[in-house]
Structure 1
Amino acid sequence: MCGICGYTDREGFDVLKKMLTCMGHRGPNDSGYFVDDNISIGMVRLSIIDLLGGHQPISNEDNSVHVVFNGEIFNYIELREELETKGHIFRTSSDTETIVHAYDEYGLSFMHRLNGMFAIAIFDKQNGRLVLIRDRYGVKPLFYAVKDNSLVFGSEIKTVLCHPSVNRELDYEALSHYFSLRNIPAPFTVYKDIRSLLPGHMIVWDKNRCKVVQWYQLSMTPRWVENDEQLLVDHIDKILRDSIRLRLRSDVNYGAYLSGGIDSSTVVGIMSEYSPKPVKTFSLAFADSPAHKLDAYYARIIAEKYGTEHYEYIMSYDDLQQELPAVIAHLDQPFAGVISSFWLSRFMQQYVTVALSGDGADDLFASYGHHRLVWPVSAVQEALRNGTSLDTVDYGFFNDRREFVINLAQYEPWEWRLAYAAFMEHEKISLFSEAGKKLFMPFSTANFLKDIYLSCTAEADELNKMLYLDINTLLHNEILYFNDMLSMANSMEVRTPFLDFRVAELACSIPGTLKIKDNTLKYILRKVAARYVPREILERPKEGFVLPKNTWLREGMAEMVKDVLSVSRLGIHGFFNQGYVDALVSKFFEGDEALTFKVWTLIILQIWYEQYLNMS
């Protein structure tokens, strides 16, 4: 696990040194660089595999190809054996070296042989090109800027900003999407000059030309039917077990996040079978013990069942209030998603350098609130088309909220999806001031989502189309973004076995009717989990490591909320209709929990913007 950076111009070494220094938290154990004419590449290393011999950059036998790399190649042992039979000579035992030899052997198709998470930079001196590659699902980030016939890249936005040619002009289209999605979606970043390389894409920089190419596409074509249920349970279990086995390859201590949900609990159960010693597990608890936050209780059940070496970090609203500005700074741009992993990862780093998590399962197997709406909304829309009574519709999870479903049925899926984000398009009109409307309203988040949704395999059912939208937006822009940024802020690596490409591709070929069935979320995955977790875990409500923001913001942090969203502070940019914001905050304090996302989104934007002005 590392941070990588570089550029294709004649800027001096001081620029590269500055880029490396600003992401030193990503690699406290080592650093390295390669400079040749107008190519400079560098890395900082968090040593995981081959602690002594894994220094980067690594080159091939004749020093014509040089690689820096962030991530892990989990099948590096098998890949090395394959390459050695083809005559390649290895000088280290690191997974990084398999990349340079695989590139030599297979060219620009070598990534398809990798089972891992990666952001890779390859300087091919013989062919005069620099190649940047991001993994299939975006587990590892990679940002870049094309400026003055030069390519600048880095593992973090702040790294790219170190280059003198990259400026800090804001991208108002990106910010417009933030107010809906609570994150800034790739390929955008908050800065006009900087883009986020999309998952499954690569950049080929050749003769001062930048070509972005998609090298991987996840198919949602159905290959199974409902009658395959038992066969699928066995198949998922087999592949997931092997995924976890591979992700235990490490020369440093490893552990696992344990929320007590079915995903992390299943991971811990399988880890315990492969690990030669008790697995270290870690959970988040809360000092004020909100009644609805039971993660710690359920995590203890799993810890006891598998005899893990279990630890809990107890967090309070004061931790959030005091360190929120520092967390926002680590994220480099406005981000109103989950941030609790910052505190838990910092605590875990005392004990482990690598941790497995259950992230990705919700996006592949269907668990979020908007996933529950897909079948009821589709059923209402079909009834309206056919002129049949809405009383005959199966409203599923929303049987007591029928009007809510009927109201959403007037929208297309990419439109009503925003009801489970922050601000829908029509709500933005009320949110923004006249000046704000001119900046943000020319852009449509619904249209941005529409293009992605409609690019899904036509044969996919409605639920899998929604999952495809999430995999191509929510997964890498929120879940994996905080996963990487906030763990690496504390020099810790997170591995996600559900995002092994074999698990993901299998999941995406399963019909949606086996993902939500009989009002059961993640139906088929629960069948697998039942082999490892007790019924009490299988039947618990979903939580995850989500802060009790609705309680904390209204109680211990109330004065901070009022101050951050006051007219004196919001007035520094004038983006918002102050009357609307004031009314929003008042309703939130009166107990409208549905407004939590909206209030949090505005708080994060304001604190980030003030930091931005100070940096500028």
Structure 2
Amino acid sequence: MCGICGIFSNSVPREQREIIVGKMMIRLVHRGPDGEGIYSDEHLTLGHRRLAIIDLEHGRQPMQSADGRYTLVFNGEIYNYLELRQKLIQQGVSFRTFSDTEVLLQLLIHQGVAALKELNGMFAFAFYDNKTKQWLLARDPFGIKPLYYCSLQSEIVFASEIKALLEHPQIHAERNWKAMQHYFTFQFCLNDETLFSGIHKLEPGFYIEGQQQKITQKIRYWDTNYQVDEHHTEEYFKDRLLALLQDSARLQIRSDVPLGAYLSGGIDSSVVASMAATHLGGSVPVFTGKFIESPVYDESHYAGIVADNINAELHEVIPTAEEFVTLLPKLIEAMDEPVAGPGLFPQFIVSRMAKERVKVVLGGQGGDEIFGGYARYLVGYLEQSLKGAIFETHEEGKHLVSLESIIPNLPLLKQYHPLMQQFFKEGLFDSMDARYFCLIDRSPDIMQMLTGDALSSIQPEEIFNDFKRVFNHPDTLSYINKMTHFDLKTLLPALLQVEDRVSMAVSLESRVPLLDTRIVDLVTSMPPPMKFQAGKTKHILKQTVRNLLPQEVLNRKDKMGFPVPLKEWMSGGVVRDFVCDTLLGQTSRDRGLFSPKALETLITQEGTYSRQLWGALCLELWHQVYIDG
């Protein structure tokens, strides 16, 4: 786990490039406090900050081949590096280290971009051929590790974080209005957009090839495959899924430093922690957080049940309102750009605690998107079942969820009645894409807060078209596949951005064993009724691990993620004062983005909290940190 950066150019002097890359590396020191390295020639400069996890003595980067022709800077982990190393040895390749970095280097030398399909891991890297002057930038299939780039007139500049790119004298922090519209709507940006004009993210599962200062092609090397396997039984899929879950955990516990696991008390983190404990053959430290403002913000009881079940040492932390006020501006800076919800804050607090005891931590990120765990999927199918019952339609070829079959699973929606009120207010029985857009669209509330000038620049039709291009994957015939596909491609990378930044802010490596391409390929090939039987969220996962987890955890109907008591905090005290000072202060008023009157109305509603208030707060802090300088 590291930070990487570099400049490709045929005209900028080497000394100038090295000064810039040196400044970029300083901005990435939190990603790699254990060492640094730099490589330059007449066409490029590469920088690396190292967090030593595998082969602590010999994994230094940039790493070059023995003949000096090839150079690699790499952020992440290749979990199957031992198996790949053995295959290369059998082919006559010799190694100087036991690091996964050298395995990746040799694999790229011998196979080129074809090597990407052999990698099981999380990664972002730059690979350079000094003879041909060609280079390669690549990012893992799910976007676990970040990579950003900017194309200038005579340079390509890249880095693990946007703040490092901003050290380049020709790259400036300017607002990208199209991406802002994405943020208003989804609270993340689609495709390769970022909130910074001219700065792009390399999308998950893509690589870029180039030569000197030119990009020659951008290629998707991995994508989800929804060719449904109708031949195998549910028992086959459960057996295969269990084997892959176990093997992913086996690979991802490989570490030369202490390792632990996050444990929220939900199914995903419980599966990961339980399988890690089984493979490690002993107690593994696990970490959880809770709030004391109300029992609805405390799920530590379930985390304790799982910890006892696996004989794990449970560590708890209680985030406070005072910490929220102190840390949020720093977390917005760490994030580069705001995405997703307020879970960012407690995740950081738990990561900070974990870092005191371990250097690597496993988490359950990805389970909701892979296995269909969000309550909004059930809301969507409630409408579909009503539509089918009334109009006798079956848009998916056969009823995946009928009105009769969905009824026993509806208690899951008790805590989501505001969402359903909004959802059923208009557009009932419209097309699948329009209805799911309605479920995730946050813009109606945000629009009420924008000033007239900002509001007049919004292009709703363009945003909806951007959404449809992702949602309507040609192979996703079923609603559940369309919904989970959209979330895998958009929401998940945003959540992984949070995962990456809150862990790397304290120099902690976070691994996510559920995000294995073998697992995703298996689940996307399952018949949809098997995954979302009668509207049962995570049906196939629950059936697969039913003998692994305590029944009290397995049968929960009240899992909420990591909720933050902002509603209680907004009723008075330091958080309310902080929000008022930030959003109603002169700096925010002069910006002219949000209507002060609308913000005042929202803030002064006693004891209320909304995602639009959170979105506005994060955007204003982002402007103050980055745009205002």
Instruction: Give the TM-score normalised by structure 1.
Output: 0.93
Q: Is 2:173–2:627's contact at 8 Å kept on the other side of the alignment?
A: no
Residue 154 of structure 1 deviates from its aligned partner by 0.3
Once the 2 structures are TM-superposed, how far is the Cα of residue 414 of structure 1 from its aligned partner?
A: 3.9
Structure 2 counterparts to residues 57-96 of structure 1, below 5 A: 57-96=62-101
Contact 2:568 2:607 in 1 (8 A): no
Deviation at 1:519, TM superposition (A): 4.3
Does 1:504 find its partner at 2:520? yes
* Alignment of 1:355 onto 2:365: no
In the TM superposition, what whole-angstrom CA distance separates every residue of 1:143-193 from its partner, at most 9, and x where no partner exists? 000001311000001011111121222101111111111123341111111
Tell me: CA distance 1:289–1:31, structure 2 relative to 1, closer, same or farther (3 Å). same
Output aligned runs, 1:509-524, within 5 Å: 509-524=525-540
Aligned to 2:130: 125
Letter in 1 for 2:620: Q
1:379 pairs, out of 357, 368, 385, with 385
Partner of 1:312: 316
The alpha-carbon deviation at position 543 of structure 1 amounts to: 2.5
In 1: Cα distance, 2:533 partner to 2:543 partner? 12
Partner of 1:545: 562
- Identify the match of residue 471 of structure 1 among 468, 477, 488: 488
- In structure 2, the residue matched to 1:445 is 463
Deviation, structure 1 residue 531 = 1.7
Structure 2 alignment gaps of length 5 or more: 395-401
In the alignment, the residues of structure 2 paired with residue 563 and residue 421 of structure 1 have an alpha-carbon distance, to the nearest angstrom, of 29
Checking the alignment, whether the CA contact within 8 Å between 1:253 and 1:352 is kept in structure 2 is: yes
Letter of the 1:139 counterpart: I
User: Does structure 1 conserve the Cα–Cα contact (< 8 Å) formed by 2:143 and 2:493?
Assistant: yes
Mapping 1:386-465, distance limit 5 Å: 393=403, 396=407, 397=410, 404-405=423-424, 407-421=426-440, 423-424=442-443, 426-441=444-459, 444-458=462-476, 460-465=477-482
Whichever residue aligns with residue 547 of structure 2, its letter is R
**Counterparts of 1:546 and 1:117 in 2: how far apart (Å)?**
27
Q: Is the 8 A contact 1:360 1:499 kept in 2?
A: yes
Flag the 1:560–1:414 CA change in 2: closer, same or farther, 3 A.
Answer: farther
Tell me whether 414-423 or 293-302 shows the greater mean CA deviation: 414-423
Cα distance, 1:281 vs structure 2: 0.5
From 324, 331, 340, the counterpart of 2:335: 331
State the alpha-carbon separation in 2 of the partners of residues 509 and 550 from structure 1: 41
- C-alpha spacing 1:444/1:559, structure 2 compared with 1 (3 Å): farther
Tell me if the contact between 1:258 and 1:265 (Cα under 8 Å) persists in the aligned partners: yes
Residue type of the partner of 1:374?
A: G
> Which residue matches 1:30?
35
Pair 1:178-2:187 in alignment: no
Task: Supply the distance in 2 between the matched residues of 1:127 and 1:429 (Cα, whole angstroms).
Answer: 51
Q: Tell me by how many angstroms 1:371 deviates.
A: 1.5
Cα distance between partner residues in 2 of 1:551 and 1:444: 37
Q: 1:484 to 1:190 in 2, by over 3 A?
A: same
Q: Which residue number in structure 1 is paired with residue 297 of structure 2?
A: 293
C-alpha distance in structure 1 between counterparts of 2:570 and 2:201, whole Å: 32
Distance 1:160 1:405 in 2: 44
Mark the CA change 1:203 to 1:438 in structure 2 (over 3 Å): closer, same or farther.
same
The letter of the residue matching 2:539 is Y
Q: What's the offset of the Cα at 1:549?
A: 2.7
Task: Give the SS at the match of 2:514.
Answer: helix
Look up the equivalent residue of 1:566 and give its one-letter code: L
How far apart, in 2, do the equivalents of 1:354 and 1:21 lie?
23
Q: Which amino acid aligns with 1:596?
A: S
The residue that corresponds to 2:619 in the other structure is 605
Structure 1 residue 383, shift from structure 2 partner: 5.4
What's 2:274 paired with?
Answer: 269
For the structure 1 residues 385 and 44, does the alpha-carbon distance in structure 2 shift closer, same or farther, using more than 3 Å as the test? same
Q: What are the superposed Cα offsets for residues 367-413 of structure 1, whole Å, 9 maximum, x if unpaired? A: 1132112322323444566589xxx9456428987874474535444
1:497/1:456 CA distance change after superposition, 3 Å? farther
Given that 1:182 and 1:421 are in contact with CA atoms closer than 8 Å, whether structure 2 keeps it comes out as no
Whether the 8 Å CA contact 2:190–2:466 is kept in 1: the answer is no
Counterparts of 1:190-229 in structure 2, within 5 Å, are: 190-210=195-215, 211-224=217-230, 228-229=233-234
Secondary structure class of the residue paired with 2:326: helix
Distance in 1 between residues matched to 2:481 and 2:393, nearest whole Å: 26
* Shift in alpha-carbon separation, 1:442–1:515, aligned structure 2, 3 A: closer
Partner of 2:399: none
Kindly tell me: are residues 356 and 387 of structure 1, through their superposed partners in 2, closer, same or farther at Cα, counting changes over 3 Å? closer
What SS does the aligned partner of 1:604 have? Answer: helix
Query: How many residues are treated as equivalent by the alignment?
Result: 603
**Native 8 Å contact 1:220 1:468 kept in 2:** no
Could you say what the CA RMSD is over the residues aligned between the two structures, in angstroms? 2.3
Report whether the alignment pairs 1:563 with 2:577: no
SS at structure 1 position matched to 2:570: helix
Q: Report if the CA contact (8 A) 1:143-1:156 is conserved.
A: yes
State the 1:429 CA deviation.
Answer: 4.3
Deviations 1:227-263 (A, max 9, x none): 8222222111111000000001000000000001111
Amino acid at match of 1:600: W
What is the distance in 1 between the residues matched to 2:359 and 2:256? Answer: 10
Question: Residue in 1 aligned with 2:398?
Answer: none
Change (3 A) 1:264 1:224: farther
Whole-Å Cα distance in 1 between the matches of residues 347 and 325 of structure 2? 15
Q: CA deviation at 1:60?
A: 2.0
Measured in 2, the distance between the counterparts of 1:468 and 1:94 equals: 34
* Equivalent-residue separation in structure 1 for 2:531 and 2:353 (angstroms): 34
- Is contact 1:279–1:308 with CA below 8 Å preserved after alignment? yes
Deviation at 1:417, TM superposition (A): 3.3
In structure 2, distance between residues paired with 1:613 and 1:136: 31
Q: Distance in 1 between matches of 2:132 and 2:42?
A: 14
Aligned counterparts of 1:408 and 1:564: Cα–Cα separation in 2: 36
